[in-house]
Amino acid sequence: MRIYALMGLLFFSISSISQNCNNTLSGKITDSHDGTALVGAMVIIAGTEQTVVTDINGYFNIQNLCDQTYAIQISHPYCLTNGYKVKVEGNTIKDFQLEHHLEELNEIVLKGHKENKKINTIAENKLTQEAIEAYSNGSLGDALNSLSGVSSLNTGSTVVKPMINGLHSSRVVLINNGVRMEDQEWGVEHAPNIDVNTADHITLIKGAGAIQYSGDAIAGVIITEPQAIFIKDSLYGKTIVSASSNGRGSTLTSKLTKSSATGWFGTVQGTRKRYGDFEAPDYILSNTGTSESSASLRFGLNKFNYGIEGYYSFYKNKIGILSASHIGGAEDQVRAINSNIPLIINDFTYDIGDPKQDITHHLARLKAFKKFAGLGKVTLQYDFQQNHRLEYDIRVGDDSDKPSLDLVLKTHTLLVDIDSKLSENSTLKSGIMARYQDNFADPSTGVRRLIPDYEKYDLGIYGIGTFQLQDNWFVEAGARFDYSYMDVYKFYRTSFWESRNYDELFPEIVVEEFDNQLLTNPQYNFYNASGTIGSTYSFNDNYKLFLNYSLASRVPNPSELFSEGLHHSASRIELGDLNFSSEIANKVALTFQKQGTVFGFSIQPFINTINNFIVIEPTDVEQTIRGNFQVWEYRQTNAQLLGVDVDATYAFTKNLDFKHQFSFVKGYDRNNKAALISMPPVNTTNEITYQNLKANHLKLAIQSEYVFRQNEYPNNNFEVYIAQSETYELVDVSTPPDAYHLLNFKSSIDFPITKKSNLTLGFSVTNLLNTRYRNYLNSLRYYADDLGRNFLFNLKFNY
Amino acid sequence: MKTIKTLSLAVVAALSFASCSDDDDTPEIVNEEEVITTMTVTLTPNDGSEVITLQSRDLDGEGSDAPVITISGNLASGTTYDGAIVLLNETESPAEDITEEVEEESDEHQFFYTISSGLDVTTEYSNNDSDGNPLGTEFTLTAGAASTGTITFTLRHEPTKPNDGIESAGGETDILVSYSVTVE
């Protein structure tokens, strides 16, 4: 192409000798990144032997040019030399932009990474690729659990929801590959639908600071990101196989990336997991098997000034729910609690029977960016998600194969972000978000909808400014405004509608009346403000202080507003409230950090004051034809959470490291002056690692995990009459289980296969002593012990 | 630049597609199929005297209003009754007979009768499941000396079968209703 052009040029220059050749070509040459004028750039015109140099303002002026197309070359010491074709017709003005030199380009990529930091005034906790690989067979919640301040709310061992500083569910915002996960995470037994193997690194922000993504992250934000792909010709990948004794299953995950020097790249990735029933130390946890399949595809063009990327992921997960946890009312609960072992124990099987969850999640994203001189980087993103959740209960007759819950949630989001540099010391990031969401609950289940049909529209706008006051002093401030509109169609039982006094409070929302049900159309408008302000101060190279204040507002989610009826899998009646308003949280977080090769630590205290905090708690026992059921009601109160997370590392010798983690959180209900339910107990993890780089990177680690008993909890126990014994029995649903201590062992060793490929073998044992324990934050703790010893073999092949 | 144009076009197209979804349709009502709203125990005396019915009725299903319990009369001392249990879902019209489903899956169900210590009443199973173990939708009841107390009917789903009574049966409770009765 270029040769033709040059030949054409040659031809034109011959034929145009007789033309008017008194034209000038002038213009300005600027740096494409920040728009600064490039002084002393050299402009060479092919065929005229003219050479000019730009002046102090970046301007150039070339005279005596004819009406024709010229080939020119522009060079600058700091930039890539580039050729252009310019058509001169009369006096022509043309501006040029130059890219930095390749070496410097690499530097800028790194700097760009720094600018990508989610927030600079809260110390981030990160999970590196190596740490994520260790949890290849587990869930995202398991992987995050290894960070201080993160615990998990479990339903058995495979439904794991991350909990940050005592808060969970929709208070934890999950950003997967730049997309906010919308996967019906409102209930306790809905874990995030992400394959942990798709993430290259995971960042945890304990606070609402990341207002770029949302203003409602009262607990914090979890960001999973894919691998950065370099602009060079390459083909690489990895495969991890892991097999474990507990659950007698395995995980296979594989990834392949092709990148090219032109900027095009593509990655394919897939994971398959299959486990049978897991085991406690003394018995099999029947119906706890799991089967997960996922795949993702990522492709795009990566240029310095612009880029485009597409991403699609598919995730399917089938999870068995412990058979013994499926009970019918308070009498059964008394039997289950009083029994030391689960009431149902069957032989080991890979079959996943009812009750079970079956979830499919599609995520597609298109993203493009372009850098404009003087404006900055503009990013446009559209994403679509579809979550299909089926929950199967044990049902009788013709319905036995039908799900009890069948929800499809579709979400479309459009984002525009502008990242600009205001001056040498300040930046401004701003953006706008529009989202449309539609939830459909299939009535063919024959079960009244747990979550009603609704449509939701969101509009958000934000701005974040950063200011480098001094070399060691950095300040950041941001604000966000969100508008949400919800249009809901919900059936209510007339008896409930009247018992709640809704017939007097909301008569206008009734659409239609049936025999014993009402169709209502609640509509909500929420206007939420959020913001953050923070500062980072470095005392010297080692000591740093982060201080951040954030304001977050969360719209109540549909289950909190509309729940009404028996939640089969929890065997309790759950009730929401139409009167709820947004939760408003004010969080102050401080981090004092020392980095060092021998000794390092970080201390992170926080205080989170939440107004209108929505909590679900047992309130009553209701008599039904099936016996007595517990009633769990959502209510709003004012809550206060405070705590501290501590991390410390100490290197005894070059090969021997010690790592310590400690988390403490207290949650109080300020209205009732009582403890909040489901707060994580104090816990500490200590680990000693021996590492020898010379002996094939041999790594041996022993880890001790101590979880104290939760001593502060609300007493929601109740009594039920047991006909068989003619006595009233206490149903103890409140008392937390005892403290426990687990020992884990980890080891790994590397074998280079060829110059470019590497094999890592890993062997680990969790719950080494086969300790019997129950975890306060596991909703199945009433029914069975937690997991027993597990031998895990792990093989990773990098190529 | 061209790619960006194409992309923005795609986005606009996708959004307009999304906003076109019909939102005028109101959702379909769900009348729960498996809810048991009503349990009626009919006790027919062998001597031809008055039939006694015990009924628990909870028309709104679980939650809100508690079940309404009615007992038509007192049991006569020294009389033997043929008992039959009928379970209905009255949220549907006509009401659905759930007893049929229980009898179809007889090997997965069993009724238990718990008599409080003060009440002089004995019961015996009259029907069996497909494996010959007790099912109990039909039974006989013999009223002894004059006394008062409660009879509790418990239907267990997937109990251990055969069993030595409710304590060892396990399973999940589908129905649990206590009736206060008098033998005179």
Q: What is the ipTM of this complex?
A: 0.78
Q: Cβ of B26 and A448 within 8 Å?
A: no
How far does the CA of residue A461 sit from the closest CA of chain B (Å)? 18
Q: Cβ of B59 and A516 within 8 Å?
A: yes
Residue A517 has pLDDT above 50, yes or no: yes
Higher pLDDT, A188 or A88: A88
Q: Which residues of B touch A310 (CB under 8 A)?
A: none
Residue A635 to residues A114, A521, A574, A612, A638: CA-CA distances in angstroms? 42, 22, 11, 9, 10
- Using 50, 70 and 90 to split pLDDT, how confident is the model at A720? confident
Q: Which residues of A touch B181 (CB under 8 A)?
A: none
Q: Which of A332, A380, A449 sits opposite B7 (nearest CB)?
A: A380
- Using 50, 70 and 90 to split pLDDT, how confident is the model at A621? confident
How far does the CA of residue B110 sit from the closest CA of chain A (Å)? 14
pTM: 0.83
| Three-state SS at A322 | coil
In contact, A686 and A703? CB cutoff 8 Å: yes
Residue A785 has pLDDT above 90, yes or no: yes
How far from chain centre, in Å, is Cα A613? 22
Integer distance in angstroms from the first to the last C-alpha of chain A? Answer: 37
C-alpha–C-alpha distance, residues B135 and B138, integer Å: 8
- What is the mean pLDDT of the segment spanning A282-290? 94
Q: Cβ of A566 and B33 within 8 Å?
A: no
C-alpha–C-alpha distance, residues A197 and A796, integer Å: 13
- What is the mean pLDDT of the segment spanning A51-78? 83
Residue B9, chain A, CB below 8 Å: the answer is no
pLDDT given at position B12: 52
- Using 50, 70 and 90 to split pLDDT, how confident is the model at B2? low
In contact, A406 and A445? CB cutoff 8 Å: yes
In contact, B166 and B155? CB cutoff 8 Å: no
Q: Which residue of A has its CA nearest to B19?
A: A436
pLDDT given at position B41: 94
pLDDT given at position B23: 47
- Using 50, 70 and 90 to split pLDDT, how confident is the model at A611? very high
Task: List all residues 6 or more positions away from A660 whose beta carbon is below 8 Å from its beta carbon.
Answer: A646, A647, A648, A649, A650, A684, A685, A686, A687
Q: Which of B3, B8, B39 sits opposite A625 (nearest CB)?
A: B39
- What is the mean pLDDT of the segment spanning A134-155? 88
How far does the CA of residue B70 sit from the closest CA of chain A (Å)? 13
pLDDT given at position B91: 80
Q: Cβ of B29 and A331 within 8 Å?
A: no
Higher pLDDT, A775 or B25: A775
Task: List all residues 6 or more positions away from B79 whose beta carbon is below 8 Å from its beta carbon.
Answer: B45, B46, B47, B49, B142, B143
User: If you count residue pairs, one on A and one on B, with CB atoms under 8 Å apart, how many are there?
Assistant: 183
pLDDT given at position A111: 38
Q: Which residue of B has its CA nearest to A397?
A: B101
Which DSSP category does A450 fall into? Answer: S
- What is the mean pLDDT of the segment spanning A430-438? 95
How far does the CA of residue B113 sit from the closest CA of chain A (Å)? 9
- What is the mean pLDDT of the segment spanning A483-509? 92
In terms of Cα–Cα distance, which of A737, A676, A735 is closest to A168? A676
pLDDT given at position A13: 45
Q: Which residues of A touch B169 (CB under 8 A)?
A: none
Least confident of A123-137, A719-733, B20-34, B120-134: B20-34
Q: Cβ of B8 and A399 within 8 Å?
A: no
pLDDT given at position B6: 56
- Using 50, 70 and 90 to split pLDDT, how confident is the model at B19? very low
A436-481 tens-digit pLDDT: 999 999 998 888 888 899 999 999 999 999 999 988 899 999 999 9
Q: Which residue of B has its CA nearest to A369?
A: B4
Buried b vs exposed e over A83-94: b needs ≥16 C-beta within 10 Å?
Answer: eeebebeeebee
Residue A9 has pLDDT above 50, yes or no: no
Q: Which residue of A has its CA nearest to B151?
A: A723
Residue B16, chain A, CB below 8 Å: the answer is no
How far does the CA of residue B166 sit from the closest CA of chain A (Å)? 8
- Using 50, 70 and 90 to split pLDDT, how confident is the model at B3? low
pLDDT given at position A329: 79
Q: Cβ of A436 and B104 within 8 Å?
A: no
In contact, A185 and A685? CB cutoff 8 Å: no
Least confident of A104-113, A326-335, A706-715, A721-730: A104-113
In terms of Cα–Cα distance, which of A502, A482, A484 is closest to A494? A502
In contact, B60 and A514? CB cutoff 8 Å: no
Rg (CA), chain B: 25
Rg (CA), chain A: 30
Q: Which residues of B touch A509 (CB under 8 A)?
A: none
pLDDT given at position B179: 93
User: In chain A, pLDDT over 70 holds for what percent of residues?
Assistant: 93
Q: Cβ of A368 and B7 within 8 Å?
A: yes
- What is the mean pLDDT of the segment spanning B21-50? 81
Q: DSSP string of A158-225?
A: TEEEEEETTB-GGGEEEEETTEE--S-TTSTT------GGG-SEEEEESSTT-TTT-S--SSEEEEEE
C-alpha–C-alpha distance, residues A619 and A632, integer Å: 6
Q: Which residue of A has its CA nearest to B15?
A: A412
Q: Which residue of B has its CA nearest to A411?
A: B18
A348-377 tens-digit pLDDT: 999 999 889 999 999 999 999 999 988 889
Residue A12 has pLDDT above 60, yes or no: no
Residue A388 has pLDDT above 90, yes or no: yes
Q: Which residues of A touch B99 (CB under 8 A)?
A: none
B145-162 tens-digit pLDDT: 999 999 999 999 888 888
In terms of Cα–Cα distance, which of A122, A138, A314 is closest to A217? A122
C-alpha–C-alpha distance, residues A230 and A623, integer Å: 64
Task: List all residues 6 or more positions away from A694 whose beta carbon is below 8 Å from its beta carbon.
Answer: none
Token representation of residue A230 = 């370099």
> In a 10 Å sphere around its CB, with 0-12 CB exposed, 13-18 middle and 19+ buried, how is residue A714 labelled?
middle
A646-698 tens-digit pLDDT: 999 999 998 999 999 999 999 999 998 999 999 999 999 999 999 998 889 99
Q: Which residues of A touch B97 (CB under 8 A)?
A: none
How far does the CA of residue B48 sit from the closest CA of chain A (Å)? 30
A196-229 tens-digit pLDDT: 998 988 999 887 768 888 899 999 899 999 888 8
Average pLDDT, rounded, for chain A: 88
A685-712 tens-digit pLDDT: 999 999 998 889 999 999 999 999 999 9
pLDDT given at position A6: 46
How far from chain centre, in Å, is Cα A303? 27
pLDDT given at position A117: 52
| Three-state SS at A388 | strand
Q: Which of A301, A395, A573 sits opposite B34 (nearest CB)?
A: A395
> In a 10 Å sphere around its CB, with 0-12 CB exposed, 13-18 middle and 19+ buried, how is residue A554 labelled?
buried
Residues of B (110-129) whose Cβ lies below 8 Å from A: 114, 116-117
Residue B63, chain A, CB below 8 Å: the answer is yes
DSSP β-ladder status, A96-98 and A23-31? parallel
Task: List all residues 6 or more positions away from A98 whose beta carbon is below 8 Å from its beta carbon.
Answer: A29, A30, A31, A32, A38, A41, A74, A76, A79, A80, A82
